[in-house]
Chains A and B, each alone.
Chain A
Amino acid sequence: MGAVMAIYLDHNATTPTDPAVVNAVVRAMSESWGNPSTLYGSGKRARTILGDARASVAALIGAKEPEDIVFTSGGTEGDYMALTGPFLAHSGSKNHVITSMVEHKAILLTCARLENRGFQATFLPVDEKGRVDPEDVRRAITPRTLMASVMLANNEVGTINGVAVISEICHEAGLLVHTDAIQAVGKIPVDVESLGIDLLTLSGHKFYGPKGVGALWIRKRTPIISVLAGGAQERGMRPGTENIPSIAGMGVAADIAVGRLPQEASRLRSLRNRLWEGIWKAIRSVKAHGDLKTGLPNVLNVSFGGYDAEEMVLALDRQGIEVGTGSACTTGEPLPSHVLLAMGVSPAEARSSIRFSLGRANTEQDIDSVIAALIRIVNK
């Protein structure tokens, strides 16, 4: 007897692997196991897969030159490379990076490590919607600033930043610009030329691809050195024999995402809005965070006043519904999300917040079931 599938509403944490992606991974593993750096037939087959996947990922982000895509092990590695690589390449006195308070841990902790080694970091505040003010970026620039890193879309509340404007400001001052686009790619149109950035990070498992694979797009002539030492793979930027099966899978996921993007964004927005309407009509003391009008179409972050988020998540799980919280856990008691705190949400409200992030398989029926389950929980 098959297991009953849960209603999954945590697509910002990860997405189910698309069956076509699974097929591509298995096929690559079975038929194209060669080392792409070799001269003979099996190597060539592997190289072809690399090339195809690179073109597919490039198309997903509007990159004109596929060779500007560097495959990585995922978003965390891409973020680390994007932040440390330029500093490794820099031989002058610049030692300052500008970022925001609401970035993913991969960015924040890399900046913290840089600080520990004598570099400097400014963590910019955000407004009540979670947005970075481009003028704050401008004000933070000093003669020692090398680069800025501001995420395109926030993983917890879905807020989208004005990265194109930020890029313009930074380039005027001679800075490099990186954006963590991990949550945006595959959900909204992303175009590296319109954004005007120099570096972009993406991750396969956020758009129905495999886990453990991602990419860092690097604009040509960006001064950056690899953080790894070894072979010449990925133009020397990411030494190590390539993970062909996962890269193949990510390429297929990229193709599917490109095909589905416009209609899927609209469908998810409609479902998300249905969820929010159902919640606030039925339950008192709820508050949505972020910007539902302009943010990611699939994200809804809600505080349920007076309720503990972790207990609600577990209660929903018992009813076959899987959702996320933004909390981190260090003492056995969940910590409130740093993103919500930075937006001015009180610690108590932040502790009662749940993130719903919708995806391809979600239907109106799912949404109605979630609303009914929430009502049962709060009425207990």
Chain B
Amino acid sequence: MALVDRFELVQVLPCLADGSKIRITAELGTDIEEALPYLNSVIKSAVYNSIGKSLTIKKDGMFFTFRGRSINATKLRDVDHANQELHSWIELINRTWERRQMITPSFERRMELTALQIFRALPSTNCKQCGFVHCLAFAVKLLSDSVSVMACRPLFTPEWRAKRLVLLEILDAAGYPVPPEFMKPG
């Protein structure tokens, strides 16, 4: 029997990032929280958040966030497109769940960052402009998402632009919220 047998589009709004597209929320008939680690194992580009119990996947410029009873998605063309994508994902969820005995679930956050990795992408000048004595201390706070990367003022000068782009890229890949305005433009 399929894990998810129905869904309902409960919200359709304009996409904030691209006015010509939409973002949606779909409610699922079943809680899929248990299936998320299996999906994390199967989908190599997924980012699993074990604390928030969510799975985020980027696909063809669209973003999908799976939680227990909902799927949020952005940058879809229209409602038909949304329904197509949702049907496709639900099929995958059901197939994965059906095969779960053969899959080792993964509870890891892909691109798990360490404070040291973040530190290496910082200017390492210990300038204290961020309010911390040492860049490593700032890196630790950044890792816990309790400060913003914008507190590191040198990163926003020409001298450290290259480091800024690298750091924002790795934070973004690890699922941290980064201000897109300061990333490398497309």
Contacts and interface: CB of A to CB of B under 8 A. Distances in A.
B89 interface: no
Interface string A50-82: 000000000000000000000000000000000
Interface string A313-334: 0000000000000011111111
Contact of B153 (A109, A125, A333, A338): A125
Interface stretch (A182-190, A220-228, A294-302, A339-347): A339-347
Contact of B72 (A101, A112, A332, A350): A332
Nearest to A105: B181
A122 B158 contact: yes
A333 B72 contact: yes
Given A112-B185, A329-B15, A329-B17, A335 B153 contact: no
A347 B175 CA distance: 14
Contacts of B145: 347-348
B156 A347 contact: no
Given A122-B157, A331-B65, A347 B177 contact: yes
Contacts of B148: 336, 341-342, 346-347, 350
B16 interface: yes
A115 B158 CA distance: 9
A292 interface: no
A108 B156 contact: no
Q: Which of B147, B151, B178, B185 has the most CB of A within 10 A?
A: B185
Interface string B36-57: 0000000000000000000010
A120 to B, nearest CB: 4
A348 B180 CA distance: 17
Interface in B142-186: 145-148, 150-151, 153, 156-158, 161, 177-185
B97 interface: no
B73 interface: yes
B150 to A, nearest CB: 5
A121 interface: yes
A287 interface: no
A149 B28 CA distance: 48
Contacts of B178: 335
A121 B65 CA distance: 34
Contacts of A124: 156
Contacts of A327: 16
Contacts of A123: 156-157, 182
Question: By DSSP majority rule, is chain A's interface helix, strand, loop, or mixed?
Answer: mixed
B172 to A, nearest CB: 9
B63 A112 contact: no
B185 A346 contact: no
Nearest to A107: B181
B182 A112 contact: yes
A116 interface: yes
A104 to B, nearest CB: 9
Given A122-B157, A122-B158, A331 B185 contact: no
A105 B17 CA distance: 12
A109 B184 contact: no
Contact of A121 (B17, B72, B146, B158): B158
A116 B181 contact: no
A122 B157 CA distance: 4
Interface of A: 96, 101, 105, 108-109, 112-113, 115-116, 120-125, 140, 327-336, 338, 341-342, 344, 346-348, 350
Given A125-B156, A342-B148, 7 more contacts: A109-B181, A116-B184, A123-B182, A124-B156, A338-B182, A341-B148, A347-B145
19 contacts: A113-B185, A122-B158, A123-B182, A140-B157, A328-B16, A328-B180, A329-B16, A329-B17, A331-B65, A331-B74, A332-B23, A332-B65, A333-B177, A335-B178, A335-B180, A336-B148, A338-B150, A344-B151, A347-B146
Interface of B: 15-17, 23, 56, 58, 63-65, 72-74, 129, 145-148, 150-151, 153, 156-158, 161, 177-185
